Amino acid sequence: MRATLLDSQIPSPAELLMGRRITTSLPYHDTPYPLDEKIRQRLQEKRESQKINHDQRAGPELPPLHAGQAVSVIDTRTGTWEDGSVKKLTNEPRSYIVETSRGTLRLTEAPQAHVPSTSMTSTNRKVDDHLSTPSAEPSMQCSY
């Protein structure tokens, strides 16, 4: 268990769990911790700050796919895109079974979109070509 302080005002995870100061070989300044309520409040502030930072950097939540919907799947080994279709949704959130010419894949949350319009009809196109086309939308990624 970690004995390093989370913050200058928050005890380490081990100290929070055990409710006492943990003895280590490292020197420390022996000051009493603030009251438990202050610690809880500081932890809550820290969580809220982390959530705000994550939400600012994370992209928008993508719309769900539906059975029968066309998608593009990238083969990360060769860097080519393949057309496929969503066969069915799984019980896990944002997880799909996709049928491609190379077989059936289970895809979890990844950049996803419909197959781009008819301007891109080749089955195996390089990733750079796919991404440089103005009408191209990001598609699901998967390694075989």
pLDDT in tens, 28-39: 766 666 567 888
Distance from CA of residue 26 to its chain's centroid?
A: 36
Give the pLDDT confidence of 96-122 residue by residue, as tens digits.
898 988 888 888 765 544 455 544 444
pTM beyond 0.75, yes or no: no
Q: In whole angstroms, how far apart are CA 134 and each of 9, 15, 45, 50?
A: 51, 54, 42, 35
What H or E segment, with its residue span, contains residue 107? strand 103-107
Closest CA to 72 of 119, 143, 132, 137: 137
The Cα 140–Cα 25 span in angstroms is: 49
